[in-house]
Chain A
Amino acid sequence: MTTPTIDLPGPIFAKLAPHPYQLRALSRGARTNGRATQEPRALSINASPLSHAHGSALVRLGDTTVLCGVRGELLPVEQIPQFRPLGGEEEYLEGEYGGAGGIGRGELRDYDLLVPNIELATGSAPQFLPGVPPTALAQTLSTRVYSLLHAAGLVKAGDLRVWYRPGEGKKQEDGGMEGVEQEVAEEDRVVAYWVLYIDLLFLSYDGNPFDAAWAAVVAALRDTKLPVTRWDPDREMVVCSRAEERKLNIKGLPVACSAAVFMEKEQSEAVTVAGDGRNWILLDPDRLEETLCKEMITIVVDCSDGETRIKSLEKQGGTVLGRELIRGFVGVAEERWAEVQMAMK
């Protein structure tokens, strides 16, 4: 019996046998998508595409498109179950400038002022169809963004406080939140907080969702302008000014950089013969590559102070990436940081 010659076009071969297809391409020095192993896709950021949100950004990473809208809503302190009024000047100054990365007295976390949610079920890819509860991936992504938002200290608690300064109203009519540097009178108090609802909508999904989502969050927060607020003692509510807006002070520019490890052996075999065979580190994996790779690494770096700071490092699923490789990967992430910084401008 003669073996029939197989003559299949690329896309069909990729569907039938994705792993050998990818392996053959990598042995020839390029990935199936034509990129080199350490070559990310181009990132483009479009700021303020939305008019109803306080801040928004559209991020395209190859064929992954994500839209982020930030909307501020007010949370009066009476609604906070365990509200602790800010103490004297000392404590509030510490929250403003000092503290761990500017997160203040943990107000952001304690009062849950940042609410990121990621929606994948927009038909962004065939596996994400609506009408079902959020997938495990969507939940994981939301939680990762949530914890990184708090850990990186992007948003300052001071920006989200709404003050009532009884003394100031006599001096100038619309005091609002500005003039925080001024000496605090005794009666000054925080009456409400801004809660930032950060909603992310994937319009198109083609791998590496975290990098794209995080870039969108950072770009949207940098774009966010909250209205200037004032406490109206007569109506006992916070009122906002339509004319005046204030930008959020976003600290630093953390950039996420992800890669996947592609093993020569297929996943089922790799468990038994670990550490055997060649492997490739694929920067910025696409949808096909993500399904073939088990080991993933995400590193979040911030080089905006001149030196590289690692904000977060996550790695799961394998044993290939050791200390040396991770150290080398930081260099890759630094290059990525420069690219993303260019795109943010």
Chain B
Amino acid sequence: MDRRRINGPAGATQPPVFDDVVSQGAKTVSGRSRMPDASRKMYLKTGVTPSASGSAYLEMETSAKPGASGLKLSCSVHGPRALPRSAPFSPHIVLSTHIKYAPFATKQRRGYLRDPSERDLGIHLEAALRGAIIADRWPKSGVDIIISIVEGDQDRETSKSQGEEAWDMMNALAGCITVAAAALADAGIDCVDTVAGGVAALVQDGGADSTPTIVVDPIPSDHAKILAACCIAYLPTRDEVTNLWFRGDLPASDMDLYTHLVEKGILASRNANCVLTNCLMETIE
């Protein structure tokens, strides 16, 4: 019970339950309309929060309705600033990342306190950015990177929820990495390169015995089954991977499959990086 917020009625409220069988039956797996190697369209803009040192906003296209956007992220960077006196000495900049889903971001209403999955995302993001920032330029200072997931990447109509959360988190993380890189650049924090996130997945569109294919930037509702996915943070000019997050179930014998998945993840993050550099170039002009 959080006394500092308005909590509403004492009794538990339930999200609406829908019963229209007709519309549910009509909605099946729509299939992927893009090429396997094509990423979704992305909109990126810097400078949305003028009082922050740097900020950026990212929108990703969704598949359900053409033109409508799925993932929406807002990121602000505060700092670099002096660490409080009580903090121990640090020869590098201290990154603190904070990712929070807005209460209205997902199908189920989210609370205001961060849950473990959001903390997990924050740690992944920190790992991805730490490899890109030239940290020893700011000893004894800290920077806060705060991302609000305004809208999650979920299809509103799909009724099935076969553990899709996990895959949605990967897409969200890829977006977070890209938007944070844009905000860091906007804040003028020196980085070795622009880092961008990308997701690749091994999907099985047909039945259980069809051959799985690797796609870039997957949308869980487009595919019948996702076997594995990996989210990559990649520095293109240095050809370095700063963070790799793999999830799923693959036979250990097939090393090629892993390598292919990582390669496709790198491809996805290269795609995102094009948008990122274009956006930053536009800002400079």
Contact = CB atoms under 8 A, between A and B. Distances in A.
A120 to B, nearest CB: 11
Interface stretch (A7-15, A71-79, A255-263, A294-302): A71-79
A67 interface: yes
B11 A79 contact: yes
A52 B151 contact: yes
Contact of B103 (A69, A78, A129, A131): A69
Given A116-B6, A146-B6, A232 B19 contact: yes
A73 B6 contact: no
A124 B6 contact: no
B163 interface: no
B76 A123 contact: yes
A239 B4 CA distance: 33
B244 interface: no
Given A124-B76, A129-B146, A199 B18 contact: no
B13 interface: yes
Contact of B6 (A122, A143, A238): A143
B92 interface: no
B17 A238 contact: yes
Given A123-B76, A130-B98, A201 B148 contact: yes
Contacts of B10: 79, 81, 112
A237 interface: yes
Contacts of A143: 6
B23 A204 contact: no
A63 B50 contact: yes
Contacts of A115: 6-9
Contacts of B19: 230, 232, 239-241
Contacts of B109: 71, 73, 197
B13 A75 contact: yes
A133 B16 contact: no
Interface in B92-126: 96, 98, 100, 102-107, 109, 112
Interface in A62-104: 63, 65, 67, 69, 71-76, 78-81
A208 to B, nearest CB: 13
Contacts of B241: none
Contacts of B112: 117, 119, 134
B104 A199 contact: yes
B103 A80 contact: no
A52 B62 CA distance: 13
Nearest to A136: B4
Contacts, number: 168
A27 to B, nearest CB: 26
A287 interface: yes
Nearest to B103: A199
Interface residues of A, number: 60
Given A56-B104, A241-B18, A133 B4 contact: yes
A139 B150 CA distance: 21
Contacts of A213: none
B80 interface: no
Contacts of B96: 131
Contacts of B103: 69, 71, 117, 197, 199, 201
B154 A242 contact: no
A139 B74 CA distance: 23
Contacts of B156: 51-52
A242 B18 contact: yes
B110 to A, nearest CB: 9
Given A52-B156, A126-B51, A199-B104, A74 B98 contact: no
A201 B4 CA distance: 16
Contacts of B15: 73-74
Given A117-B6, A195-B13, A239-B18, A50 B51 contact: no
B16 A74 contact: yes
A201 B98 CA distance: 15
A21 interface: no
B112 to A, nearest CB: 7
Given A119-B112, A122-B148, 19 more contacts: A51-B151, A51-B156, A52-B104, A65-B48, A69-B102, A73-B13, A73-B14, A74-B15, A75-B9, A75-B14, A79-B9, A124-B49, A195-B9, A199-B104, A201-B102, A203-B150, A229-B16, A240-B18, A241-B19
20 contacts: A52-B105, A52-B152, A53-B104, A65-B48, A69-B102, A115-B8, A123-B77, A130-B100, A133-B4, A134-B4, A142-B6, A195-B8, A203-B49, A204-B48, A204-B50, A204-B52, A230-B19, A237-B17, A238-B17, A243-B20
Interface of A: 50-53, 56, 63, 65, 67, 69, 71-76, 78-81, 111-113, 115-117, 119, 122-126, 129-131, 133-134, 139, 142-143, 146, 195, 197, 199, 201, 203-206, 227, 229-230, 232, 237-243, 287
Interface of B: 4-20, 23-24, 48-52, 55, 68, 74-78, 96, 98, 100, 102-107, 109, 112, 144, 146, 148, 150-152, 154, 156
